[in-house]
């Protein structure tokens, strides 16, 4: 069973920055990618795959909505992944879930929770206007 320890998040004004971190354990296949999907508040809001990093070679992937503003990185030895979020916008407000999935199945953009193999408890990110 994959376990996640998530930290970061909080409240920030538009244009500000936040950093999320996620330490994952309980898996041993390098063909996985770790990253985040988010769930915005309100009815009819689909989860959105935000970003992921391939553990084997450090390749990074981003949803169009965050490209150029968010940067994902990792400390491979500790299976810890970071998401640096800059130029935050009110529409980035969501619960961010650290998740793991094989790189070929990772979904960026609109998704459903079942698209991700496992995920953590989530952390709230709120961006005020």
d(CA 10, CA 28): 31
Position 73 pLDDT exceeds 80: yes
Position 29 pLDDT exceeds 80: no
Taking the alpha carbons at both ends of the chain, their separation in whole angstroms is 39
* Mean predicted confidence (pLDDT) in 76-90: 93
d(CA 95, CA 122): 6
pLDDT for residue 122: 97
* Mean predicted confidence (pLDDT) in 24-37: 88
Predicted confidence band of residue 8 (pLDDT cuts 50, 70, 90) = very high
Predicted confidence band of residue 79 (pLDDT cuts 50, 70, 90) = confident
Yes or no: say if 8 and 21 are a contact pair by the CB < 8 Å rule.
Answer: yes
Percent of the chain with pLDDT over 90: 84
């Amino acid at each position: 069973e994959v376990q996640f320890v998530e930290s970061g998040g909080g409240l920030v004004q538009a244009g500000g920055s936040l950093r999320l971190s996620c330490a994952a354990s309980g898996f041993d296949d390098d063909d996985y990618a770790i990253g985040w999907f988010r769930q915005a508040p309100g009815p009819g809001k689909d989860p959105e795959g935000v970003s992921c990093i391939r553990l084997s070679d450090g390749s990074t992937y981003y949803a169009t909505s965050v490209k150029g503003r968010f940067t994902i990185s990792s400390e491979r030895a500790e299976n810890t992944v970071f998401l640096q979020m800059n130029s935050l916008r009110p529409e980035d407000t969501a619960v961010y879930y650290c998740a793991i999935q094989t790189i070929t199945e990772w979904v960026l953009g609109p998704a459903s929770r079942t698209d991700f193999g496992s995920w953590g408890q989530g952390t709230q990110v709120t961006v005020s206007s």
